[in-house]
């Protein structure tokens, strides 16, 4: 009979790490709270200061805590995240769940870029941009309001597309191959027009993704994707 070797004991630094992580996840400590000092953690867990320091260092690298020299360790502000995620077509996301996707076009036009918009696209103030507003539905329920600006130099035929048949993301990835994407993700309240288009209250929290995509060093499009928090789960993968 083959005997199984006993499982290796959990490293001491992980015990400290998991304790802090679980307390933060449960809401025992919230953003901005001062955490126990290194000396207190050493005493509580009966481990070395080096062990505690490793636990805190790795939690800091994960973005869960902030360490201020001479002051202490605090729970990080987790409400705002900036990262790079895979650019996915909402149609494909919905189809993978075996559900029906619909797109309702509310606006498709040319407009003059404001100074701020022109600077973002590195175009002269007043330059033409394409603008579209589309609401995406999953099995008849609105899950995303897509408010998009497009650089005509990168996608000159954008206004001629039938976005009830193909999404802007699908079209733009074909005509302007992606080389870089920049994201910000935040929890916020919808604008009056977004709430109306999504059929929600102005008080309903939303997950808002703001994204810029580049092709060959030029910004192709900027988009604001607003999702009702109760109807949408953002998923992605990260690699170190």
Q: pLDDT tens, 111-148?
A: 999 999 999 999 998 999 999 999 999 999 999 999 99
pLDDT score of 168 more than 70: yes
Assess whether 125 and 151 both reside in one domain: yes
CATH number for the domain harbouring residue 147? 3.40.1410.10
Span of 10-19, 157-166, 221-230 with lowest mean pLDDT: 10-19
- With a cut of 60, say whether residue 3 has pLDDT above it: no
Residues 151, 86 share a domain = yes
Largest distance between two CA atoms of the chain: 80
Q: Token digits for 230?
A: 């109760």
User: Can you give the pLDDT at residue 35?
Assistant: 93
| CATH code of 42's domain | 1.10.10.10
Together in a domain, 64 and 151: no
Mean pLDDT, the chain, integer: 85
Task: Answer yes or no: is 105 within a domain.
Answer: yes
Contact criterion met (CB below 8 Å) for 100 and 139:
yes
Q: Where among 77, 103, 121 does a domain terminate?
A: 77
Sequence-separated (6 or more) residues with CB below 8 Å from residue 50: none
Query: Is residue 1, in this structure, part of any structural domain at all?
Result: no
Same domain, 145 and 64: no
pLDDT at 81: 33
Task: Say whether both 73 and 105 belong to one domain.
Answer: no
Question: Of 77, 108, 129, which one is at a domain's C-terminal end?
Answer: 77
- In sequence order, what E strands does 57-179 have? 65-68, 72-75, 80-81, 101-112, 128-138, 141-150
Q: Is residue 9 pLDDT above 70, yes or no?
A: no
Same domain, 127 and 45: no
Which one of 62, 77, 92 terminates a domain? 77
One domain, residues 40 and 148:
no
User: What would the mean pLDDT of 205-214 be, rounded to a whole number?
Assistant: 91
Inside any domain, residue 67: yes
Number of Cβ within 10 Å of residue 93's Cβ equals 18
Predicted pLDDT of residue 181: 85
pLDDT level of residue 236 (50, 70, 90 thresholds): low
Expressed as residue numbers, the domain containing 105 is 81-228
Q: Are residues 85 and 172 in the same domain?
A: yes
Contacts of 4 (CB under 8 A, 6+ apart): none
The total number of structural domains in the chain stands at: 2
Residue 239 belongs to some domain of the structure:
no
Indicate whether 85 and 169 sit together in one domain.
Answer: yes
- The pLDDT of residue 234 is 60
Residue 48: both structure tokens together: 């070395």
Residue 195 included in any domain = yes
- What residue spans of 86-207 are helical by DSSP H? 90-96, 115-121, 168-175, 192-198
In angstroms, the Cα distances linking 173 to 109, 168, 214 are: 20, 8, 10
pLDDT > 60? residue 191: yes
Its pTM stands at 0.63
Is residue 6 domain-resident? no
Residue 155, pLDDT > 70, answer yes
Pair 158, 200 in one domain: yes
| pLDDT tens track for 49-91 | 999 999 999 888 877 888 888 888 988 864 433 333 456 778 8
Flag the least confident range among 85-99, 183-197, 209-223.
85-99
**Do 118 and 208 fall into the same domain?**
yes
In this structure, are 56 and 102 located in the same domain? Answer: no
Cβ-count burial of 154 within 10 angstroms (0-12 exposed, 13-18 middle, 19+ buried)?
buried
């Amino acid at each position: 009979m083959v005997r199984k070797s006993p499982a290796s004991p959990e490293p001491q630094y992980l015990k400290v790490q998991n304790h802090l992580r679980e307390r933060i996840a449960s809401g025992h400590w919230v953003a901005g709270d001062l955490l126990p000092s290194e000396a207190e953690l050493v005493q509580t867990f009966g481990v070395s200061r080096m062990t505690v320091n490793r636990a805190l260092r790795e939690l800091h690298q994960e973005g869960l805590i902030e360490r201020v020299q001479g002051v202490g360790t605090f729970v990080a502000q987790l409400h705002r995240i900036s990262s790079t995620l895979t650019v996915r077509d909402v149609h494909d996301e919905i189809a993978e769940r075996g559900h029906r996707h619909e797109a309702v076009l509310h606006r498709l036009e040319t407009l003059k870029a404001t100074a701020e918009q022109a600077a973002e696209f590195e175009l002269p103030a007043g330059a033409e941009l394409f603008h579209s507003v589309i609401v995406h539905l999953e099995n008849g329920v609105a899950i995303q309001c897509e408010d998009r600006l497009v650089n005509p130099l990168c996608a000159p035929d954008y206004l001629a597309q039938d976005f009830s048949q193909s999404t802007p993301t699908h079209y733009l990835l074909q005509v302007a191959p992606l080389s870089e994407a920049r994201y910000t993700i935040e929890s916020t309240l919808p604008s009056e027009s977004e709430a109306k288009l999504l059929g929600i209250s102005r008080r309903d929290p939303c997950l808002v993704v703001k994204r810029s995509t580049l092709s060959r060093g030029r910004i192709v499009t900027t988009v604001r994707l607003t999702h009702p928090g109760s109807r949408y789960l953002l998923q992605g993968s990260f690699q170190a």
